[in-house]
Amino acid sequence: MATIYEVSKLAGVSLATVSRVMNNNANVSDATRKKVTAAMDELGYRPNSIAQSLASNCSNSVGLLVSELQGPFYGPMMSGIENTFRNQGKHLIIAAGHSDEEREKQGIEFLISRNCDGLILHVEAVSDDYLIKLSKGRTPFVLINRYISELSDRCILLNNINGGYLAAKHVLEQGHKNIAYISGPLWKQDAKDRLEGHKQALAEFNLEFDENLLFQGDFMEASGYEGLKALHQQTHPFTALICANDEMAVGAMASARDLGLTLPKQLSIMGYDNVFFTRHVYPQLSTVNYPINEMGRMAADWVLSHVYQKQTPPLQTLFEPELVIRHSISRQ
């Protein structure tokens, strides 16, 4: 690989001049610019961005930490972020945290040590304190789907309480009185919030939340399957099941079928997230829309604005969920 030195020699100019035409910031005469670019072409020169970033302390790349690289939820998020950055010449370095404290920390440290100019974090396991401490460091970051009051201006959130409320209210309005609930892991804030909204709606309808009808899942399909099976075995009856996300809802649907329940007649099921396949399951799943792609874009805009001082559309920090009514809820 040719270096800047060889280019400068071939073009008959100094290193600094070559650097200047690369970053076209300073004054370079047209004639020498031509000479230099010609030399670059001839040598097939590509700047070593590692060296650039060491010397300039700016890497034009931002770090993204997600829990998983796969799944219908993270895909649109990564995609929204990447799309926003691509047009601005910023690159993405992605690491996975797997909802594990140690791995999340490792990921964050890797991204920082790679000279990322900014970070977008979707972290779950790491503590508030850790993040607050991190915020004193030199690498700015924005948080998706996590609220820390000390860092509230950089938390991009969905109103999950409202989302849980919306879902339950819809089911209640269809006449259901006994509603089972498969939650996410209750140590996660979003899982807690969704359940809280659920309870609020129940209270509004003067219904009590029945702990027997709660199953704590882990946001994955299998736990939806297991959850419904378990709920079905206990004695308290229910006509509807609300799941804290779509993947568990889909697992529950499979379970329902194995249990011989016809959907939605014998059991209404409600999801959350509105991931793309919910339109395609049978019956089409009613759910709550999580505008994760937009939230990803917003996080990217935050970085563009705070790290690179770019003009962006106005920043928004709280997003609202929306009810998506399809065919998985029957009228009672």
Partner DNA sequence: GTTATAAATGTAAGCGCTTACATTTAATGT
Partner DNA sequence: ACATTAAATGTAAGCGCTTACATTTATAAC
Please report whether residue 103 would count as binding its own copies according to CB under 8 A. Answer: yes
Using the rule CB under 8 A, is 5 a contact of its own copies?
Answer: no
Q: What is the CA radius of gyration of the chain?
A: 25
The CA-to-CA distance between both ends of the chain, in Å, stands at 71
User: Counting contacts by CB under 8 A, is residue 261 touching its own copies?
Assistant: no
Q: Is 38 in the site for DNA (CB under 7 A)?
A: no
Helix (H) or strand (E) holding 103: helix 101-113
Rounded Cα distance, 249 and 37, in Å: 58
Of 41, 42, 56, 128, the residue at the interface with DNA (CB under 7 A) is 56
Q: Does position 43 bind DNA by CB under 7 A?
A: no
Is there binding between residue 138 and DNA (CB under 7 A)?
Answer: no
Interaction between residue 22 and DNA (CB under 7 A): yes
Structure tokens belonging to residue 289: 């829309």
Helix (H) or strand (E) holding 81: helix 74-86
Name the residue nearer to its own copies (CB basis): 83 or 178: 83
| 135 contacts its own copies (rule: CB under 8 A) | no
Contact indicator for 145, 158 with CB cutoff of 8 Å: yes
Residue for token digits 């919910």?
278
Name the residue nearer to DNA (CB basis): 108 or 201: 108
62-81: contacts with its own copies (CB under 8 A): 68-72, 74-76, 78-79
Identify the three-state secondary structure at position 157: strand
Nearer to DNA, 49 or 79 (CB): 49
Beta bridge mates, 96: 66
210 binds its own copies (CB under 8 A): no
Could you say which of its own copies, DNA, none residue 253 binds, taking C-beta under 5 to 8 angstroms by partner kind? Answer: its own copies
Q: Which does 91 bind (CB under 5 to 8 A by kind): DNA, its own copies, none?
A: its own copies
| Binding-residue pattern over the window 66 to 85 for DNA, x denoting contact by CB under 7 A | --------------------
Q: Among candidates 144, 147, 227, 134, which has minimal Cα distance to 185?
A: 227
The rounded distance, in Å, linking the Cα atoms of 255 and 189 is 27
State residue 185 phi and psi, 5-degree precision: -60, 125
Give the residue among 186, 307, 297 at the shortest CA–CA distance from 319.
297
How far apart (Å, rounded) are the C-alpha atoms in residues 9 and 27?
20
By beta-carbon proximity to its own copies, the closer residue of 21 and 81 is 81
The string of DSSP codes covering 36-70 is HHHHHHHHT----HHHHHHHHS--SEEEEEES-S-
Binding flag, residue 137, DNA (CB under 7 A): no
101 near its own copies, judged by CB under 8 A? no
Q: Which positions lie near its own copies, rule CB under 8 A?
A: 1, 46-51, 53-54, 59, 61, 68-72, 74-76, 78-79, 82, 86, 91-96, 103, 109-110, 112-115, 137-138, 250, 253-254, 277, 279-282
Q: Which positions lie near DNA, rule CB under 7 A?
A: 1, 3-5, 12-20, 22-23, 25-29, 31-33, 45-48, 51-52, 54-58
